[in-house]
Amino acid sequence: GAGVSQTPSNKVTEKGKYVELRCDPISGHTALYWYRQSLGQGPEFLIYFQGTGAADDSGLPNDRFFAVRPEGSVSTLKIQRTERGDSAVYLCASSLTSNNEQFFGPGTRLTVL
């Protein structure tokens, strides 16, 4: 079956703009995670959804970052007033439940000029 998909694969934007990154998890997976991977670093946890609700958003760096999962499937990560430091690969993962292996998507490479 289809894996986790993320769109767009690449996004270039200007400082101060608003961006939305989309994640389509594996069908039936109830848990969904967002990570950010900066150059030379490992993935860093941002937020975790169980169903429609954000169970843990402790990794979001500040209030410019927000994520939703309104129907418990697709999720959107929203970044307002982008800064150059937001440039990174944003990874999405899903798992059957929160106690199962996470499957990662290919990521969205965000570049803020």
By C-beta, is 19 or 91 nearer to other proteins?
91
Q: How far is the CB of 39 from other proteins (least distance, A)?
A: 11
From the number of C-beta atoms within 10 Å of its C-beta (0-12, 13-18, 19+), residue 5 rates as middle
By C-beta, is 38 or 80 nearer to other proteins?
38
**Residue ranges in contact with other proteins by CB under 8 A:** 4, 31, 33, 35, 40-45, 48, 56, 59, 91, 93, 95, 98-107
By C-beta, is 66 or 104 nearer to other proteins?
104
**Other C-beta atoms within 10 Å of 21: how many?**
20
Find where tokens 């990874």 sit: 91
Length of the chain: 113
Q: How far is the CB of 91 from other proteins (least distance, A)?
A: 6
Q: What is the DSSP letter of 3?
A: -
